[in-house]
């Protein structure tokens, strides 16, 4: 073996990348065994590549563990708790029970068909990992698996990014793309350990599907197209964002058609991927026939038929010899095809067979749509239009490298680069519309920036190398023609080498700043579980506010198992997962009227609210209040949306009743309805007696920096059941009705004097 | 068999006819939820035949709550009294009205006319009934204590006095059975002279008791032995406040601003006494870590002070898990020939001053250990289980010990003896090594395959 390597190295001295043969001989004369370990250049390159990829893989995983180190191995935020709860159910009861699960613990009294209203990809993935590890006798807890699923898939994404970069550009770009995406804050924000959400696996699935499709287009191979269909199936099973794929790929096919890049490869790739992908996607209950019926999926079908017509025309063109005849045929075919398409679409939409676009889809295309029509979408902070600063925060230097990468892509147009450009541009638009869609744009931005970085550095280093090669070449006499031409360029630009060095240094500085920025953002901004709040004390010590879990655990242990808890929908998933109690509304938000009913109860007077709560069998009411700690995302600050959503369905709630000069206030100048509505009373019950800050009057609300307006809150129909140690969560018990009539009736029997 | 039973019966009846029971004093200390009774009995044999055992009687209600029963003979000089413990065994058949008997076997048979002083300690759990059964946050807790002024005994009792010690001076009411008097914390019933056998005179004492009624409904301790140097202990607690239930609202404001007047009957802290040299201590529950705990390490013991997520008022419950690791050499010993191992661990609940309704101890032995036997000073239910942990192929044998009604007095060492072949220690590292070996082999094979393809291409 050693001899073979030596022989092969010896036979290719002209390989410019191979090491200096004289040096090689020197070493061999000293130590034969060392020479035998010496690898070929190609092997060296492979080894380096694999090492870098392994390091990137580990880095992508470990950089997401800040939250575990800072806090603990726990599930974060809101939606992940639902996913965790369903995964737990899946691992305990098995797949069929999970698939047919009717959950009566949420959306009381309606319930929710879990199996038919979720994307099961994430849960099934985690359960499979869990069962696999159990089978291999790793006694892990399902929670650990769930916590680490997102980092694990982020690591896998880096590998896909590498192959994708390799496919559209070269291995260098692939490596840079892998490194970029491993630490890009835009992606980390959704994939830190504990962020057990659909996006965690979906970004992997998205990029994987795209990669496989590009590969299929480049090779024209049926197997790659089939693989991309399966990738698409996985994506559909994991996240609603699959709509992006099923619209981007047709758009890409259309662009290729229009630009005259139609090929048999494209035909095979798209036809196979669409048909198989569609059939597979329809197996997901939540998607089902939407895939052929809803407006969002029509573009893909249209392009599919267009492609068939195109193929048919090509075939006819091949058969018909006369151009004139073909042109007539073309005209007839195109006209009839378009008219049939439009007719089918028209009849389909008119008859209701094809459903119109959903509000969420509209709000993607038109950022102002949600604000006017669907307050429930607009109320979520991650659905807000993106601010400039968050682009900078999430992409840092990639934002500047992106246009440069686009330039390189346009310079070397191929089917692959066209795809990546289209992906980049469309996803950038969507990222501008909604904050959370920065996530979708991140892989594209990383890939395109990686192309820019890789191409630039490659150019610069080749400049450096060509110069040195001139010197060494003159000694050895083996200068290639390319190098000599570069050398002639060198003479025309005397400072080229220095400039290249300076630019390289600049590039490395920028890249190192990127790494520092990413690490800082990850550790400071994206690693907070938001269930446990941490603050710095006066002496620099860390204070932990664990009030959420305190309250949920209290609910879990000390309330009847069938108790119904009413709270704003944000906390629904957490209450069912951690508190194990039935909730009225939760983060699924599938029934706007139900949420509006809760919003109405919260914004009504206590007696009116009591009637609503009685009709919903509410036993406990949970509110989140930050007035003592200065925690600003509490229910008083969310109250605006409760009024707005409640008022959207029940006109009895009028937003101006709660406003004074167009703003929400809680101090003395607040609107009287505001001071006496249920939410205000529950948040500020007995708060007027509490002194929160030295030198301030009692009842000083630290979250809003005002002294509250109604310090003498009396509750008639509810009583305080539990308040957490920092007052962040307050739970009230709804008193049972007095037998023989309602409160108001019984009061009327009292003598009036 | 029948013959023998008859004999015992005969003996029993003769004892009743010929023995009178002299009882010096019995004092009842009342302590959170449990009642500890220390009875000093002086037994004099006034019969003709000698007697080797003394019978104790308990009512059926007491039997249900009886956690511990011990008897001892005080001896030695006056300055230094030594106690010699005696065997106590249940005795059949039952007496009138469901009275259960226990017999104390004396060291030397008591001859006619001789007397002996016995000290009997028995602990009853859950024999205080909160009344009123629901109190509001600011009220203090009042409880009923039910007992008999005269001791239930199959013997003729010559003289008997009962002292009841209450935790505070506030006593609402008590049954008067002359002579009864009360001074400070102590309530004295008696002395009663010449009580006939099986006499019973019920009394009720109603007094304030704000001691936290910490009851561990269920405790599962899992002790996992690793011969690589540590013992991992994991304890699942299900704690409840068994006192008067909280009525009405819980006001955090009152609880925070006036802690002395509000929530006196609640508790928010528990203290666990752990072995010395513990490490990797954790305190969590089903939904994550609980950050409010303090660990104090000492040479003799470690103390873990934990706060449940919320203060526990009457009727409230909480569950949590405590886990820690202790060095192996402190608890595991090897026999001289090296084949047998002895695990010496403490039985009981590490949480101070608590009653455990059901205690389960699971000793997870290393994979490959055989013939586990348990040596314990108490009678325990036991059975074997198999547990699969990391990289286990045949599973680890688990010795499961169960006992109901465990009180702090039960804390005592117990021993698990098992055979273990040290070669089993290498099983798991070998599995790992072979997996990595196969992985690298596969890599080498893959790379070489790759090479050959390239060679064909170039040639």
Determine, for residues B250 and A549 on separate chains, whether the beta-carbon distance falls below 8 Å.
no
Q: Which residue has the tokens 């304890």?
A: B235
Q: What is the pLDDT of residues A448-500, one digit of tens each?
A: 999 999 999 999 998 888 755 555 444 444 434 444 444 444 455 667 888 88
Where helices occur in A282-322 by DSSP H, the ranges are 290-293, 298-319
pLDDT of residue A454: 94
Q: B-chain residues within 8 Å CB-CB of A557?
A: 316-319
Q: Comparing A540 with A522, which gets the higher pLDDT?
A: A522
Of B248, B319, B390, the CB nearest to A137: B390
pLDDT of residue A162: 96
Q: Is A750 on the interface with B (CB under 8 A)?
A: no
Q: Is A475 on the interface with B (CB under 8 A)?
A: no
Asked if residue B6 has pLDDT above 70, the reply is no
Is A94 strand, coil or helix? coil
**A-interface mutation test, from B284, B309, B390, most A Cβ less than 10 A away:** B309
pLDDT of residue A275: 95
Mean pLDDT of A62-67: 93
Distance from C-alpha of A431 to C-alpha of A204, rounded to nearest angstrom: 18
**Number of Cβ atoms within 10 Å of the Cβ of B243:** 29
- Are the beta carbons of A183 and A64 closer than 8 angstroms? no
Mean pLDDT of B161-182: 83
Binning pLDDT at 50, 70 and 90, where does residue B4 land?
very low
pLDDT of residue B43: 64
Task: Name A352's Cβ contacts closer than 8 Å, sequence gap at least 6.
Answer: none
**Number of Cβ atoms within 10 Å of the Cβ of B144:** 16
Q: What is the pLDDT of residues A129-138, one digit of tens each?
A: 999 999 988 8
Distance from C-alpha of A217 to C-alpha of A415, rounded to nearest angstrom: 7
Q: What is the pLDDT of residues B283-327, one digit of tens each?
A: 999 888 888 888 988 888 889 999 999 999 888 999 999 999 999
Is B199 strand, coil or helix? coil
Q: What is the pLDDT of residues B213-264, one digit of tens each?
A: 888 999 999 999 998 889 999 999 999 988 888 888 888 888 888 877 777 8
Determine, for residues A552 and B315 on separate chains, whether the beta-carbon distance falls below 8 Å.
no
* Token pair in block for residue A33: 């065994």
Instruction: Please give the share of chain A, as a percent, with pLDDT higher than 70.
Output: 89
Task: Name B347's Cβ contacts closer than 8 Å, sequence gap at least 6.
Answer: B361, B376, B378, B401, B410, B411, B412, B413, B414
Binning pLDDT at 50, 70 and 90, where does residue A420 land?
very high
Determine, for residues A137 and B290 on separate chains, whether the beta-carbon distance falls below 8 Å.
no
Q: What is the mean pLDDT of chain A?
A: 85
**Number of Cβ atoms within 10 Å of the Cβ of B84:** 11
Asked if residue A26 has pLDDT above 80, the reply is no
Q: Which residue has the tokens 């289980």?
A: B385
Of A8, A553, A686, the CB nearest to B251: A686
**Number of Cβ atoms within 10 Å of the Cβ of A259:** 10
Mean pLDDT of B395-412: 89
Terminal-residue alpha carbon distance, chain A: 110
Q: What DSSP designation does A702 have? A: T
Of B286, B289, B316, the CB nearest to A558: B316
Distance from C-alpha of B242 to C-alpha of A273, rounded to nearest angstrom: 65
Asked if residue A727 has pLDDT above 50, the reply is yes
Q: Looking at this predicted complex, what is its ipTM?
A: 0.86
Q: What is the pLDDT of residues A265-321, one digit of tens each?
A: 999 999 999 999 999 999 998 888 888 888 888 889 999 998 998 898 888 888 887
CA geometry: angle at A297 spanning A292 and A303, to 5°? 100
Mean pLDDT of A95-117: 90
Q: What is the mean pLDDT of chain B?
A: 80
pTM of the full predicted structure? 0.87
Instruction: Please give the share of chain A, as a percent, with pLDDT higher than 90.
Output: 51
Mean pLDDT of A428-448: 92
Q: Which residue has the tokens 């191992």?
A: B341
Asked if residue A734 has pLDDT above 90, the reply is yes
Handedness of CA B174, B177, B178, B179 (dihedral sign): negative
Q: Comparing A158 with B191, which gets the higher pLDDT?
A: A158
Handedness of CA A405, A406, A412, A416 (dihedral sign): positive
Asked if residue A631 has pLDDT above 50, the reply is yes
Of A558, A690, A719, the CB nearest to B253: A690
Binning pLDDT at 50, 70 and 90, where does residue A37 land?
low
CA distance A690 to chain B (A): 7
Determine, for residues B310 and A722 on separate chains, whether the beta-carbon distance falls below 8 Å.
yes
pLDDT of residue B39: 62
- Are the beta carbons of A437 and A427 closer than 8 angstroms? yes
Q: Is A544 on the interface with B (CB under 8 A)?
A: yes
Determine, for residues A72 and B251 on separate chains, whether the beta-carbon distance falls below 8 Å.
no
Determine, for residues B388 and A723 on separate chains, whether the beta-carbon distance falls below 8 Å.
no
Mean pLDDT of A578-600: 91
pLDDT of residue B450: 56
**A-interface mutation test, from B262, B307, B310, B452, most A Cβ less than 10 A away:** B310
Q: B-chain residues within 8 Å CB-CB of A578?
A: 287
- A602 phi and psi, to 5 degrees? -65, -30
- Are the beta carbons of A164 and A216 closer than 8 angstroms? no
Distances (CA, A) of B459 to A11, B67, B447, B450: 12, 88, 18, 15
Terminal-residue alpha carbon distance, chain B: 98
- A405 phi and psi, to 5 degrees? -65, -40
pLDDT of residue A34: 55
pLDDT of residue A559: 92
Binning pLDDT at 50, 70 and 90, where does residue A10 land?
very low
Binning pLDDT at 50, 70 and 90, where does residue B38 land?
low
Mean pLDDT of A654-683: 88
pLDDT of residue A709: 87
Q: Please list the residues that pair with B83 across neighbouring strands.
A: B74
Binning pLDDT at 50, 70 and 90, where does residue B192 land?
confident
Determine, for residues B309 and A550 on separate chains, whether the beta-carbon distance falls below 8 Å.
yes
CA distance A722 to chain B (A): 6
Q: Please list the residues that pair with A583 across neighbouring strands.
A: A565
pLDDT of residue B17: 27
pLDDT of residue B76: 67
Lowest mean pLDDT of A157-161, A344-348, A490-494, A623-627, name the range: A490-494
pLDDT of residue B44: 64
Lowest mean pLDDT of A88-102, A235-249, B91-105, name the range: B91-105
Q: Is A138 on the interface with B (CB under 8 A)?
A: yes
Determine, for residues B310 and A553 on separate chains, whether the beta-carbon distance falls below 8 Å.
yes
Is-cis flag, bond preceding A109, omega within 30? yes
Instruction: Please give the share of chain B, as a percent, with pLDDT higher than 70.
Output: 86
pLDDT of residue B58: 83
Mean pLDDT of A216-222: 93
pLDDT of residue B40: 63
Task: Name A195's Cβ contacts closer than 8 Å, sequence gap at least 6.
Answer: A76, A77, A80, A150
Q: Which long-range contacts (CB under 8 A, 24 or more apart) does A159-164 make?
A: A159/A53, A159/A57, A160/A204, A160/A207, A160/A208, A160/A211, A161/A207, A161/A443, A161/A446, A161/A447, A161/A450, A162/A53, A162/A56, A163/A211, A164/A207, A164/A210, A164/A211, A164/A214, A164/A420, A164/A443, A164/A447
Mean pLDDT of A565-585: 92
- Are the beta carbons of A355 and A290 closer than 8 angstroms? yes
């Amino acid at each position: 073996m050693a001899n073979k390597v030596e022989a092969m190295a010896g036979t290719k001295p002209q390989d410019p990348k191979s090491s200096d043969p004289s040096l090689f001989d020197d070493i061999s004369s000293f130590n034969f065994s060392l020479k035998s370990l010496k690898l070929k250049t190609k092997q060296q390159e492979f080894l380096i590549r694999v090492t870098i990829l392994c390091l990137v893989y580990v880095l992508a995983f470990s950089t997401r563990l800040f939250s575990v180190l800072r806090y603990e191995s726990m599930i974060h935020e809101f939606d992940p708790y639902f996913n965790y709860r369903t995964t737990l159910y899946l691992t305990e009861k098995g797949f069929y029970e999970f698939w047919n699960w009717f959950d009566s613990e949420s959306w009381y009294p309606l319930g929710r068909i879990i199996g038919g209203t979720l994307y099961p990809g994430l849960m099934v993935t985690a359960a499979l990992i869990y069962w696999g590890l159990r089978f291999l006798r790793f006694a892990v807890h399902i929670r650990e698996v769930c916590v680490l699923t997102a980092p694990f898939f982020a690591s896998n994404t880096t590998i896909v990014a590498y192959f994708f970069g390799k496919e559209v550009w070269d291995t260098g770009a692939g490596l840079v793309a892998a490194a970029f995406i491993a630490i890009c804050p835009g992606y980390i924000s959704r994939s830190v350990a504990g962020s057990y959400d659909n996006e965690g696996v979906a970004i992997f699935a998205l990029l994987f599907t795209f990669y496989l499709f590009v590969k299929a287009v480049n090779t024209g191979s049926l197997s790659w197209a089939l693989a991309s269909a399966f990738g698409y199936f996985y994506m559909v099973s994991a996240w609603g964002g699959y709509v992006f794929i099923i619209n981007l790929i047709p758009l890409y096919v259309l662009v290729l058609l229009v630009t005259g890049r139609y090929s048999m490869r494209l035909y095979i790739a798209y036809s196979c991927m669409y048909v198989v992908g569609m059939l597979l996607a329809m197996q997901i209950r939540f998607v089902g026939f939407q895939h052929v019926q809803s407006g969002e999926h029509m573009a893909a079908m249209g392009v599919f038929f267009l492609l068939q017509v195109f193929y048919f025309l090509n075939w006819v063109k091949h058969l018909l010899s006369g151009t004139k005849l073909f042109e007539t045929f073309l005209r007839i075919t195109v006209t009839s095809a378009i008219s049939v398409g439009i007719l089918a679409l028209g009849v389909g939409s008119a008859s209701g067979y094809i459903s119109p676009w959903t509000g969420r889809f509209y709000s993607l295309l038109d950022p102002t749509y949600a604000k006017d029509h669907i307050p429930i979408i607009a109320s979520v902070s991650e659905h807000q239009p993106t601010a400039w600063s968050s682009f900078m925060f999430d992409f840092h230097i990639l934002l500047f490298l992106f246009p440069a990468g686009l330039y390189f892509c346009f310079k070397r147009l191929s089917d692959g680069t066209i795809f990546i450009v289209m992906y980049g541009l469309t996803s950038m638009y969507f990222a501008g519309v909604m904050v959370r869609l920065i996530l979708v744009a991140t892989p594209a931005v990383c890939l395109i920036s990686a192309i820019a970085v890789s191409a630039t550095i490659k150019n610069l280093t080749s400049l450096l190398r060509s110069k040195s090669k001139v010197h060494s070449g003159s000694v050895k006499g083996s200068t290639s023609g390319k190098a000599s031409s570069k050398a002639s360029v060198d003479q025309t630009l005397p400072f080229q080498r220095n400039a290249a060095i300076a630019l390289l240094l600049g590039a490395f500085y920028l890249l190192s700043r990127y790494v520092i920025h990413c690490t800082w953002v990850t550790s400071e901004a994206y690693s907070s579980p938001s269930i446990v709040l941490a603050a710095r004390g006066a002496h620099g010590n860390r204070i932990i506010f664990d009030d959420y879990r305190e309250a949920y655990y209290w609910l879990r242990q000390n309330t009847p198992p069938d108790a119904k808890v009413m709270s704003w929908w944000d906390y629904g998933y957490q209450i069912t997962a951690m508190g194990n109690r039935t909730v009225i509304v939760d983060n699924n938000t599938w029934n706007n009227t139900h949420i509006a009913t809760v919003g109405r109860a919260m914004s009504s007077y206590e007696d009116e609210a009591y009637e609503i709560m009685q009709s919903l069998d509410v036993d406990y009411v949970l509110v989140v209040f930050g007035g003592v700690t200065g925690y600003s995302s509490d229910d008083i600050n969310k109250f605006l949306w409760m009024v707005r959503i409640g008022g959207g369905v029940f006109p009895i709630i009028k937003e101006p009743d709660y406003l004074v000069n167009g703003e929400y206030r809680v101090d003395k100048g607040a609107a009287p309805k505001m001071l006496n509505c249920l939410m205000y009373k529950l948040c500020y019950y007995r708060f007027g007696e509490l002194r929160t800050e030295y030198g301030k009057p009692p009842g000083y609300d630290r979250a809003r920096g005002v002294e509250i307006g109604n310090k003498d809150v009396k509750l008639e129909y509810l009583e305080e059941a539990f308040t957490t140690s920092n007052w962040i969560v307050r739970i009230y018990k709804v008193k049972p009705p007095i037998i023989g009539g309602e409160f108001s009736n019984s009061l009327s029997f009292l003598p009036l004097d | 068999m029948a013959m023998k039973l008859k004999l015992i019966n005969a003996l029993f009846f003769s004892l009743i006819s010929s023995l009178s029971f002299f009882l010096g004093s019995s004092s009842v200390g009342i302590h959170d939820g449990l009642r500890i009774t220390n009875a000093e009995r002086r037994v004099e044999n006034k019969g003709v035949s000698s007697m080797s055992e003394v019978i104790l009687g308990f009512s059926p209600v007491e039997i249900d709550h009886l956690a511990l029963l011990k008897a001892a003979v005080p001896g030695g000089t006056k300055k230094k009294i030594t106690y010699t413990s005696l065997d106590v065994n249940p005795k059949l058949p039952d007496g009138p009205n469901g009275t259960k008997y226990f017999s104390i076997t004396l060291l030397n048979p008591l001859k006619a006319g001789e007397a002996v002083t016995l000290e009997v300690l028995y602990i009853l759990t859950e024999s205080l009934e909160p009344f009123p059964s629901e109190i509001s946050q600011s009220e203090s807790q009042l409880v009923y204590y039910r007992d008999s002024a005269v001791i239930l005994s199959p013997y003729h009792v010559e003289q008997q006095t009962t002292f009841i010690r209450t935790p505070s001076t506030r006593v609402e009411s008590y049954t008067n059975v002359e002579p009864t008097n009360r001074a400070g914390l102590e309530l004295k019933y008696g002395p009663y002279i010449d009580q006939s056998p099986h006499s019973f005179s019920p009394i009720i004492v109603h007094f304030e008791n704000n001691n936290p009624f910490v009851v561990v409904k269920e405790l599962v301790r899992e002790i996992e032995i690793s011969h690589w140097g540590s013992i991992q202990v994991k304890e699942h607690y299900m704690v409840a406040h068994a006192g008067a239930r909280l009525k009405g609202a819980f006001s955090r404001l009152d609880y925070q601003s006036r802690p002395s007047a509000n929530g006196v009957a609640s508790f928010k802290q528990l203290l666990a006494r752990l072995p010395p040299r513990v490490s990797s201590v954790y305190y969590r529950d089903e939904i994550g870590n609980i950050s409010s705990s303090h660990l104090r390490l000492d040479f003799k013991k470690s103390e873990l002070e934990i706060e449940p997520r919320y203060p526990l008022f009457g009727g409230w419950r909480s569950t949590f898990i405590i886990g820690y690791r202790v060095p192996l050499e402190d608890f595991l010993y090897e026999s001289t020939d090296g084949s047998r191992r002895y695990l010496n661990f403490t039985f009981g609940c590490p949480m101070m001053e608590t009653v455990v309704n059901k205690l389960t101890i699971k000793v997870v032995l290393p994979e490959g250990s055989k013939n586990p036997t348990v040596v314990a000073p108490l009678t325990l239910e036991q059975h074997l289980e198999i547990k699969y942990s990391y990289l286990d192929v045949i599973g680890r044998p688990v010795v499961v010990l169960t006992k109901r009604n465990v009180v702090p007095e039960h804390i005592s060492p117990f021993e698990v003896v098992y055979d273990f072949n040290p070669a089993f220690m290498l099983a798991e590292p070998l599995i790992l090594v072979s997996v990595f070996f196969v992985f690298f082999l596969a890599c080498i094979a893959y790379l070489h395959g790759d090479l050959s393809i390239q060679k064909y291409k170039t040639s």
